[in-house]
Amino acid sequence: MIIVAANEPARAKGIQVGDVLADARAVVPGLEVLDDVPVVWDKLLHRLAEWCIRFTPVVAVDPPDGLLLDATGCPYLWGGEAEYLSAIQQGLRKRGYDVRVGMAETPQVAWGVARYGVNLHVAVGKNTEALLELPVEALRLEHETRDRLRRLGLHKVRQFINMPRASLRRRFGAEFIRQLDLALGRASVPLKPVMPVEPYRQQLPCLEPVLTAPGIEIALSELLDRLCARLEKEQMGLRAAVFKGYRVDGKWIQIAIATNRPTSHREHVFSLFAIKLPTLEPGLGIELFVLEAPKVETCVSQQENMWDSSGGLEDIRLSELIDRLANRIGGIRRYLPAEHHWPERAVRPASSLQEQPLTSWPAEKLRPLQILDPPERIEVTAPIPDYPPMLFRYKGKLHHVARADGPERIEREWWIEQGQHRDYYCVEDDAGRRYWLFRLGHYDDEESSAWFMHGFFA
Amino acid sequence: MRYTELQVTTNFSFLRGASHPEEIVGEAATLGYPSVAVTDRNTLAGIVRAHSAAKKWGIKLIPGCRLELVDGPPLLIYPTNLPAYSRLTNLLTTGNRRTEKGKCELYREDVYAHAEGSKFIVVPPQLNRKFEFDTVFTNLVKEYRDAFGDELAIAATRLYHGLDAKRLFRIHQLCRQLKIGMVATNDVHYHQPQRRELQDIVTCVREKCTIHTAGYRLDANAERHLKSEQEMVRLFRHYPDAILATQAIAEACGFSLDQLKYRYPREVTPESRTPHEELSYLTWRGAKQIFGENIPEKVKANIEYELKFIAEVNYAEYFLTVYDIVRYARENKILCQGRGSAANSTVCYCLGITSVDPSKFDLLFERFISSARNEPPDIDVDFEHERREEVMQYIYEKYGRDRAAVVATVTQQHHRGAIRDVGKAMGLSVDTINRLSGLIWDFRDEGFDRERILSQGINPDDPVINKVLQLTEQFMGFPRQLGQHTGGFVITDGKLSDLCPILNARMENRTNIEWNKDDIDVLGFMKIDVLALGMLTCIRKAFDLARQHYGLELTLANIPQDDPAVYEMISRADTIGVFQIESRAQMSMLPRLKPKTFYDLVIEVAIVRPGPIQGDMVHPYLRRRNGEEPVEYPSKELEDILGRTLGVPLFQEQAMKIAIVAAGFSPAEADQLRRSMATFKVNGKVSHFRDKLIEGMTANGYSRDYAERVFRQLEGFGSYGFPESHAVSFALLVYVSSWLKCYYPDVFACALLNSLPMGFYQPAQIVIDARKHGVEVRSVDVNKSYWDNTLEEKVGKYCALRLGFRQVKGLRKEDMERLVTGIGNGYKSVQALRDVGMTEAILERLADADAFRSMGFDRREALWKVSTKDHQKDSMFVAEDVRRDIEESVELPRMTLSEHVVHDYHALSLSVKAHPVSFLRDALESLRVCPANRLKDIRHGTVVRVAGLVLVRQRPGTAKGVCFITIEDETGSANLVVFPDKFDQYRKEIIQSRLLMVQGKLQKEGEVIHVMAERCFNVSGLLQRLVPQEEDVGGIGTPSRADETTSRPDARRERKDGVQMKIFGEGRNFR
């Protein structure tokens, strides 16, 4: 394993990026090591870029460890370039980032001085001069080209910038010439600025406090129009929405809904809210309405004829029906199989209607449709050591076992918990009802075994 | 009712079974089973172990196998007699040979063709949704029934899977319908239910998942263990016939591995002599060639004695087989020499297999073969490592792949691997696993130590960690794969595949058997070790060079013996590159031991080994040799044994004899003791011998202290000790290589460089050493070099050594051979090289190696010339190309000499221009650093400073944490010793330095000089001075350093040091 980043205390002890972890450990035995999570770099850079929008509207991410800011026209707001640079540096330092900020006329030179420069602030008109003193690394070249330049003894830009272009092109390729031109400002590439994601949130201030149900409905309807229009445009759908009202007495009230699949269907969302609207108490009146969608997911826009299809989980009418029911009575769950032998863990609730099972329902094991959670204690009469019971008492009622199958022995999942195994039996009583029973652990001479009712077959 | 388990998966079904065959058999015996079968998947690899265990426990083993077929349900097969067994091994061989290593591809038709005489049990699948067997299965069972008749049965298991009753019913139904038997089995995967956890873990390793994601790939319960007969009878109370059927099969299987008869190959006797007549003819002929007509009496007696013995035990064919291989090597000019205990045989010497002259040494034929140890002799022969494959292919060719194969080695799960696998399966983070396995490096096989685990920031009481450690203990020693032995061959008279399955090895053109060395020992098979030895390659190449350049016809036998100049050189520890005695430990021993005779070399080879060092035998020997301590013997009987080594046991034979004479061991026991030492780390069964030895010796009047010392030494010998005969064989090569180095250092260095990689030293040290001995070394050049290093005309005493292209990193042999053949009248321009097909990449590498000097370019100019991208291969405009080159004459920065040296190291790992440290001498002088070659003039005890490139850093296990470092400057090398406390203090400097400066007291003992490090400094930064300032990018300049508000990015400095490390990073490290 290779070290990809080290903090200052580690570097002070001689740990360097690119070291093999084992060697670093040999040097500093107590080294704390965190696994590199590749996406985090990217996310972090984006967040920093968004934060930097306060310094200029055009901020671009420059992986793996840089940000490019187009400062054109901005520094005077901070009272000059030096102040501007220091503001950026201080701002980031306050947030715990150790940064070097370089400034020059071309992004390439700025990039170079930030990393290799002595003088980080290249004054206007000094761009080429600054470039001359930079090492070859400051031109963003392929490793191979850089290496070859160094082997030829050409360590600084100054040493080769005046060589015949044709000779340079023959040896180091067109990309090399292009980088040189970019640095000199003879060519340019536009930056790709970062666009911050705006929250899915709409507001509606009212001139007069709204008191009546129709008024609230109109407000909701107006906010929904705006939100759904945006969602549709971005091909997104909401999974949850909150409708808030800020009252004149300084309190706020809210109702929330959730859906089973991402939707931007205005009427449907409205109908979900409509059920709960009567619970809103406007008090002395509401002066600000806010509609938020805290959870959104991408949603491929529906074609019209989809509305005509029927049946199955794909049917939007089904999911909308479930939404309506769930928002009215709550707690509708869908279960998916989970690969566990232990019955309590063999199912898990699905996160959405669309979620596909990762594994199929095990067909070769008989499992009841209804399971008791937790299992209920029963009294049985059973021959020893592991034969099915002959009769059992459940909720005070005695059942005679007419037919039985088993046992199926299921051990604890030892990496999760310790304890006794269970011996499961499928039994049918004389009335033809079928039950799923188990005995905890082996039959024991000393104590009577504990038996439980765990489920009912149809 | 009796019960026999017939379906057993051991851990030789890799990553399926969770118990050793020995554990299964042991448990079966404990449960009172009359017999037990072993049926691993398409392999018989575990049955020899099961067989030995069954003998020990006194129950019957039924050898069997589970045949996994491509086109049918699995079958358990049990051969009932020897021919049936041979059919089975041939069947498996067929399946193995048609696919790659580790797999076996078998079809129903194959089984039908090999079915005669075997019993079969078909293993049924699960029931389908209708609680029936699929018709595909029932149809195939019908087909099996037609093929096997009454020999077929169906396996019935009750594993508490819920549908047991239904499944048994269906099986019973099918059996009735087809009129075949139903046999109870328990599909055993582990001997005790507690092993279920480990079985789950190996399942995860096999399926490459963690215990959390394994899901239904794991079994729901822990029922697949050996159950008592009573319990099995109860489980099958509705089907008592299924229990009876196990006994019917068990009784029908009368085959035991004891019936395997190994026969030596026979066809090696021409002229219709019997093998024994042939052997004695060849032996006496050889003896006459060596000793002339007057064979010394002692030799004569030896030969007669040995021949008589060989006739008695009927080993003549074996000797002839080995003789034939050696003869082949000789005829093809491949150097070879027998090693190990075979050197105790005068017959072997006369046959030319070994080289230890029986007229000069007292050989112990019994150490080689004896009637007491009822096992086949073991002859190991070393061949040149580059040409051993020829010998191996000769064996295959001569005997055929069906009669000769390499022995297997069972790769065992070692501690580190075990914890990695278990940790991964338990879902530990990579970092935690690394930390845990990192502990093992420090602690070898001693297990885990709480303190150490805590020191790594891991809580040993954490249930997951605790479980990981516990399962790791169990998992250790599990077989993981069958590899091929380094060179052990089994050759038989009949078909080898009648005895054992043969499989393809990973290497092309190799086949091996499934059993390892111990297994074939148990069965009494003969084995020949065809080993590879780099030094033999080097010596052969040296002989060739000596013929070419000095007109000498050298052989291993005609090198002048007992030459005082050679011993004088050895005594000075001037032994870089010499066989065996070139390591630092050896080199520091040489001046103390001062070898004067050949036997001293033998002792030298044997004494610097972990065995004698751990047993604390080295210093007593040295003191006695130097007359500082009287030579005395604990008893008269031991004087005979220890006389030659001044009363200090140094050889394996001596330690064994002490056990026999002083502790009352039988010879067989002594040998067992030696063997158990080698394996005790895995099995932990050594204390029994310890008690016996120490009790025995104290009872015979030896001091307890002495007895314990003998035991400690034995402990070391087990794995690392040398038998005397082996040391003698090696000492011969030591002498030969020393002689070459002493008289022809040019030849020796050239041959050594051409035989790398081998030995301890890097090319740079070999070249430096050659120059020190007056050999001119010339640099690589496109017009003068060949692929190999070569010798050129004589300059002064010796030929000049021209470095070859093989020293340049990244060049390929084929390309360079094309370059050499196309040379014509010499290359005059870069274009001429392109014309023979040298690509830009090759030319750049050559330029980096500064190989254009004969064209008048230094490396930088050459690089500029070769590194154009747009030249056309078959350019019509050659003239234009030349013109452009002229037009482009651009001024490049000049390289200093030191810069050239840095780049030489980069491209070649060495430089003939200068030593890098020489450029820093002024700087080092101002630090009051003493050059390495002046240390000898400084008094013992003086505090000195030395500095140099780090060559070797070692912390041998025998040295209790002491670190040995060798550094090198332009004048020579210096040896440093760092004690543990200092090592901890200067850990960082020691590990990170390329250029290390050390201050410490000088310790002198005769000519052995050490610096005992007190302070260490990393002065690698000085190496920066070898390259011009411009290369130091990132402006280390002071202004911004002082500027507190602008912190320096360290990225620059890091990369730069990185370059330095790469260039001078040739030190051999701890690991």
Secondary structure of A75-115 as H, E, C letters = HHHHCCHHHHHHHHHHHHHHCCCCCCCCECCCHHHHHHHHH
- Residue B59 C-alpha, separation from nearest chain A C-alpha, in angstroms: 31
The H or E element spanning position B859 is helix B859-866
Helix (H, G, I), strand (E, B) or coil at A383: coil
B1043's CB contacts (< 8 A; 6+ apart) are none
B938's CB contacts (< 8 A; 6+ apart) are B930, B944, B1002
Query: Are the CB atoms for A240 and A225 separated by under 8 Å?
Result: no
Q: How many Cα neighbours within 13 Å face the side chain of A77? A: 9
B467's CB contacts (< 8 A; 6+ apart) are A415, B197, B426
- Please state, in angstroms and rounded to a whole number, the distance separating the CA atoms of residues B65 and B43: 6
Chain B nearest-CA residue for A93: B1045
**Sequence-separated contacts (24+) of B257-261 with Cβ below 8 Å:** B257/B47, B257/B48, B257/B51, B257/B61, B257/B63, B257/B523, B258/B51, B259/B82, B259/B85, B260/B82, B260/B85, B260/B499, B260/B523
Write the pLDDT tens digit of every residue in A332-382.
Answer: 788 889 889 999 999 888 877 777 888 888 877 788 988 898 999 999 998
Residue with tokens 């959405």: A352
Query: Are the CB atoms for B643 and B631 separated by under 8 Å?
Result: no
- Please state, in angstroms and rounded to a whole number, the distance separating the CA atoms of residues B515 and B500: 8
- Whether B160 has its CB under 8 Å from any CB of chain A: the answer is yes
3-state class percentages of chain B: helix first, strand second, coil last, to nearest 5: 50, 15, 35
* Per-residue tokens: B630: 């009287």
Residue B439 burial (CB count, 10 A): 19
- Whether B895 has its CB under 8 Å from any CB of chain A: the answer is yes
pLDDT beyond 80 at A104: yes
Mean pLDDT of all residues in A168-185: 86
Gyration radius (Cα) of chain B, Å: 34
Predicted local distance difference test score (pLDDT) of residue B729 = 86
Query: Are the CB atoms for B967 and B974 separated by under 8 Å?
Result: yes
Gyration radius (Cα) of chain A, Å: 35
Contact B1039 A118 (CB under 8 A): yes
Q: Which of B903, B928, B924 is nearest to B913 (CA)?
A: B903
The helices-and-strands tally (H runs, E runs) of chain A is 12, 14
Q: What is the pTM of this model?
A: 0.74
- Measured in residues, chain B has a length of 1071
Residue among A405, A411, A437 with most chain B CBs within 10 A, to mutate: A411
- Whether B988 has its CB under 8 Å from any CB of chain A: the answer is yes
Q: Round to the nearest angstrom and report the end-to-end CA distance of chain B.
A: 59
- Please state, in angstroms and rounded to a whole number, the distance separating the CA atoms of residues B410 and B11: 12
DSSP codes joined into one string, B751-808: HHHHH-S-SS--HHHHHHHHHHTT--EE---TTT--SS-EEEEEETTEEEEEPPGGGS
Chain A residues within an 8 Å CB radius of B165: 405
- Whether B863 has its CB under 8 Å from any CB of chain A: the answer is yes
Contact B892 A154 (CB under 8 A): yes
Strands, sheet with A286-298, edge to edge from the N-terminal-most edge strand: A201-210, A286-298, A236-247, A252-263
Burial of B287 (0-12, 13-18, 19+ CB in 10 A): buried
Confidence of residue A242 (pLDDT cuts 50, 70, 90): very high
For residue B448, give Cα distances in angstroms to A278, B415, B416, B437. Answer: 68, 10, 11, 10
The residues in B 80-139 lying below 8 A from A, measured between CB atoms, are 126-127, 129
ipTM: 0.71
- Residue B864 C-alpha, separation from nearest chain A C-alpha, in angstroms: 7
Strand partners, A385: none
- Please state, in angstroms and rounded to a whole number, the distance separating the CA atoms of residues B723 and B252: 47
**Helical axes A107-116 vs A165-184, angle rounded to 10°:** 90
Query: Who among B890, B992, B1039 is closest to A14 (CB)?
Result: B992
Query: Who among A28, A89, A362 is closest to B216 (CB)?
Result: A362
Write the pLDDT tens digit of every residue in A80-94.
Answer: 899 999 999 999 999
B1050's CB contacts (< 8 A; 6+ apart) are A11, A16
Chain B nearest-CA residue for A97: B1047
Residue A162 is classified by DSSP as T
Q: Round to the nearest angstrom and report the end-to-end CA distance of chain A.
A: 56
Contact B1035 A116 (CB under 8 A): yes
Residue B489 is classified by DSSP as E
Residue among A31, A36, A150, A152 with most chain B CBs within 10 A, to mutate: A152
For residue A248, give Cα distances in angstroms to A206, A218, A220, A245, B165. Answer: 11, 19, 18, 10, 74
- Please state, in angstroms and rounded to a whole number, the distance separating the CA atoms of residues A83 and A76: 9
Predicted local distance difference test score (pLDDT) of residue B865 = 84
Predicted local distance difference test score (pLDDT) of residue B544 = 92
Chain B residues within an 8 Å CB radius of A147: none
B310's CB contacts (< 8 A; 6+ apart) are B276, B279, B316, B319, B347
For residue B125, give Cα distances in angstroms to B138, B141, B167, B196, B224. Answer: 10, 12, 10, 22, 16
Confidence of residue A310 (pLDDT cuts 50, 70, 90): low
- Whether B991 has its CB under 8 Å from any CB of chain A: the answer is yes
Where does A299-344 show beta strands of DSSP type E? Answer: 335-337
- Residue B195 C-alpha, separation from nearest chain A C-alpha, in angstroms: 12
- Residue B608 C-alpha, separation from nearest chain A C-alpha, in angstroms: 28
Q: In chain B, which residues have pLDDT < 50?
A: 441-446, 680-684, 873-877, 879-880, 883, 1032-1063, 1065-1071
- Whether B451 has its CB under 8 Å from any CB of chain A: the answer is no
Chain A nearest-CA residue for B863: A152
Query: Who among B162, B892, B1051 is closest to A424 (CB)?
Result: B162
Residue among B163, B440, B993, B1033 with most chain A CBs within 10 A, to mutate: B1033
Query: Are the CB atoms for B336 and B383 separated by under 8 Å?
Result: yes
- Please state, in angstroms and rounded to a whole number, the distance separating the CA atoms of residues B92 and B114: 10
> Pick the residue with more confidence: B341 or A407?
A407
Residue with tokens 């290593």: B101
- Whether B450 has its CB under 8 Å from any CB of chain A: the answer is no
Contact A16 B1058 (CB under 8 A): yes
- Residue B919 C-alpha, separation from nearest chain A C-alpha, in angstroms: 19
Predicted local distance difference test score (pLDDT) of residue B1058 = 36
Identity of residue B886:
I
Predicted local distance difference test score (pLDDT) of residue B7 = 96
Query: Are the CB atoms for B801 and B752 separated by under 8 Å?
Result: no
- Please state, in angstroms and rounded to a whole number, the distance separating the CA atoms of residues A384 and A443: 7
Mean pLDDT of chain A: 86
- Whether B457 has its CB under 8 Å from any CB of chain A: the answer is yes
- Whether B868 has its CB under 8 Å from any CB of chain A: the answer is yes
Count CB pairs under 8 A between chains A and B. Answer: 160
Residue B148 is classified by DSSP as H
Residue with tokens 């104290």: B698
Helix (H, G, I), strand (E, B) or coil at B335: coil
Query: Who among B196, B211, B893 is closest to A159 (CB)?
Result: B893
Contact B1051 A407 (CB under 8 A): no
pLDDT beyond 90 at A224: yes
Give backbone dihedrals phi and psi of B602, rounded to 5 degrees, phi first. Answer: -60, -45
Residue B141 burial (CB count, 10 A): 22
B489's CB contacts (< 8 A; 6+ apart) are B392, B395, B404, B405, B406, B407, B527, B528, B529, B530
Predicted local distance difference test score (pLDDT) of residue B375 = 67
- Please state, in angstroms and rounded to a whole number, the distance separating the CA atoms of residues A295 and A337: 25
Residue B675 burial (CB count, 10 A): 13
Query: Are the CB atoms for B1013 and B1028 separated by under 8 Å?
Result: no
Before A385, cis peptide (omega within 30)?
Answer: yes
Chain A residues within an 8 Å CB radius of B1028: 153, 155
- Please state, in angstroms and rounded to a whole number, the distance separating the CA atoms of residues B1010 and B588: 9
Predicted local distance difference test score (pLDDT) of residue A302 = 53
For residue B627, give Cα distances in angstroms to B140, B181, B631, B632, B1031. Answer: 84, 82, 8, 12, 60
